[in-house]
């Protein structure tokens, strides 16, 4: 059985993404969140403001039309739009979607002059697929002009078929790191979800999953993976799905399929709705800033724990909310530097 390792504080602090003097908002990394269904706008708000606090230069949210006003109200500096076009595209039959170059997510990862842009927006507006030109090489697993990442699933309702459709569309089209969270995770157990993960793995595109114990058990069930040991479960989920897995709980375990990292600095102040959405936004923002999947998960988890402890010191572990954890991210960063 593989043993989990721990990072020292110095190792964690060395991961902090301090901006250089010539930084601009794009060079600091863009995170696009596809998050927040009509029932859960709050998850999109929490993940997005956590991304901003975690240093992403540009945080953009595509959410359900019903959630737009709430997410805009959460922070004026967020770029927010309804996911209508993406949803229309995602609801097409997979065979009808045309080439990967035409998917909305890939278009965002592509250079502005990409031929894919006009094609996909035409497809989404008309509701009919427009078969874009074959996928240009530049849209493949090559570094985009600026670092970027996608977060999909926070505030998704796993029982709504649109959740799986959106998740698969992002996995298919995003030529960048993708973090799958919350109600997006169930999509990964479908044949389409597993095929897309395998393709991303082969293409060298990082995918990160952030399940809590209940979600991890749902991912383990179809593969009959044992769930009694969360450290081994992180390792097995990582290997089975070709992803970096962060299995959350009182102790959180991160695995890339080879090593397991144990994160044990959390506090029961975090046992409150919405704190997982905050963690997802933090980890995805670090992916957008170019950290490797394991480093992004380790740093996000360490800062999340320290932010919760700082908030609990002031407010007590009874009173801390997910919003308080976001507000304390600066203190957590300062405590490491
Ligand atoms: N303010 C908001 O908008 C919020 C939205 N949220 C979103 O709500 C959606 C559903 O998430 P849920 O986690 O509520 O529902 P899920 O249905 O995914 O998980 C809850 C189920 O898992 C079981 N379970 C086992 N171990 C668990 C553990 N350690 N933690 C939590 N549940 C465990 C529970 O008993 C329950 O049956 C997600 O998309 C999530 O992002 C939640 O994050 C809460 C806050
Ligand atoms: N008792 C606890 N001790 C330490 N951390 C905890 C504890 N309970 C929950 N957490 C942390 O809180 C977060 C909860 O995430 P999650 O269950 O996904 O919540 P939500 O879906 O409501 O956002 C995770 O990061 C988890 O590790």
Q: Which two tokens stand for residue 113?
A: 């002059």
The residue-averaged pLDDT of 188-207 equals 97
- Which overall architecture, per CATH, does domain 9-336 show? 3-Layer(aba) Sandwich (3.40)
- At residue 127, φ and ψ (nearest 5 deg) are 75, 5
Is the CB of 222 inside a 6 Å radius of any atom of ligand 2?
A: no
**pLDDT over 90 percentage in the chain:** 80
Mutate to test the pocket of ligand 1, among 47, 159, 215 (most ligand atoms within 8 A of CB): 215
301 CA from centroid of ligand 2 (Å): 10
CB 283 within 8 A of CB 31: no
Q: Which residue's C-alpha comes closest to atom 20 of ligand 1?
A: 214
Helix (H) or strand (E) holding 327: helix 322-327
Q: Hey, is 113 helix, strand or coil?
A: coil
Amino acid 89: pLDDT:
84
Is the CB of 213 inside a 6 Å radius of any atom of ligand 1?
A: yes
Amino acid 111: pLDDT:
33
Q: What angle do CA 302, 306, 311 make, to 5 degrees?
A: 150
- pLDDT higher for 169 or 126? 169
Q: Is 29 marked as binding a ligand?
A: no
Q: Is 212 marked as binding a ligand?
A: yes
**pLDDT over 70 percentage in the chain:** 85
DSSP 171: H
Q: 207-209 and 58-63 as β-strands: parallel, antiparallel, unpaired?
A: unpaired
Q: Is 249 marked as binding a ligand?
A: yes
Instruction: Give the count of beta carbons closer than 10 Å to the beta carbon of residue 263.
Output: 23
Q: Is 43 marked as binding a ligand?
A: yes
The model's pTM: 0.90
Pick the ligand that lies closest to the CA of residue 272.
Answer: 2
DSSP string, 233-252: HHHHHHHHHTSEEEE-SSSE
Amino acid 2: pLDDT:
78
Surface-to-core class of residue 111, CB atoms within 10 Å of its CB (0-12 exposed, 13-18 middle, 19+ buried):
middle
Mutate to test the pocket of ligand 2, among 275, 282, 305, 321 (most ligand atoms within 8 A of CB): 275
Amino acid 48: pLDDT:
98
The residue-averaged pLDDT of 120-134 equals 32
pLDDT tens digit sequence for 70-123: 999 999 999 999 999 899 888 987 667 654 334 444 434 333 333 332 222 233
Pick the ligand that lies closest to the CA of residue 249.
Answer: 2
The residue-averaged pLDDT of 182-210 equals 97
Give the start-to-end residue ranges of the domains of the chain: 9-336
Q: Hey, is 11 helix, strand or coil?
A: helix
What gap in Å lies between CA 150 and CA 32, rounded to an integer?
5
The residue-averaged pLDDT of 248-262 equals 98
Q: Is 250 marked as binding a ligand?
A: yes
Helix (H) or strand (E) holding 33: strand 30-34
What gap in Å lies between CA 300 and CA 61, rounded to an integer?
20
């Amino acid at each position: 059985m593989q043993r989990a390792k721990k990072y020292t504080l110095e190792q964690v602090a060395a991961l902090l993404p301090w901006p250089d003097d010539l930084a601009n908002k794009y060079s600091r990394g863009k995170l696009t969140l596809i998050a927040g269904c009509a029932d859960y706008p709050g998850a999109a708000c929490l993940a997005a403001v956590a991304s901003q606090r975690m240093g992403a230069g540009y945080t953009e949210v595509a959410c359900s039309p019903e959630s737009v006003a709430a997410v805009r109200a959460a922070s004026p500096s967020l770029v927010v739009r309804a996911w209508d076009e993406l949803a229309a595209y995602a609801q097409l039959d997979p065979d009808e979607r045309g080439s990967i170059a035409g998917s909305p997510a890939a278009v965002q990862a592509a250079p502005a002059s990409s031929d894919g842009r006009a094609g996909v927006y035409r497809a989404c507006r008309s509701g009919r697929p427009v078969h874009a030109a074959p996928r240009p090489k530049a849209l493949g697993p090559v570094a985009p002009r600026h670092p970027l990442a996608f977060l999909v699933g926070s505030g998704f309702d796993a029982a709504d078929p649109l959740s799986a459709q959106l998740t698969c569309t992002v996995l298919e089209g995003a030529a960048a790191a993708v973090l799958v969270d919350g109600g997006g995770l169930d999509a990964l157990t479908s044949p389409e979800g597993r095929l897309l993960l395998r393709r991303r793995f082969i293409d060298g595109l990082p995918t990160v999953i952030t399940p809590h114990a209940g979600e991890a058990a749902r991912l383990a069930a179809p593969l009959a993976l044992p769930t009694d040991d969360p450290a081994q479960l992180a390792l097995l989920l990582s290997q089975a799905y070709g992803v970096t897995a962060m299995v959350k709980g009182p102790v959180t375990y991160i695995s890339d399929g080879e090593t397991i990292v144990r994160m044990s600095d959390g506090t029961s102040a975090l046992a409150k709705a919405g704190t997982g959405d905050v963690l997802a936004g933090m980890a995805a923002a670090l992916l957008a800033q170019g950290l490797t999947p394991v480093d992004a998960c380790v740093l996000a988890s360490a800062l999340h724990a320290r932010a919760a402890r700082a908030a609990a010191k002031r407010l007590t572990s009874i009173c801390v909310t997910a919003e308080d954890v976001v507000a304390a991210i600066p203190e957590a960063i300062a405590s490491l530097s």
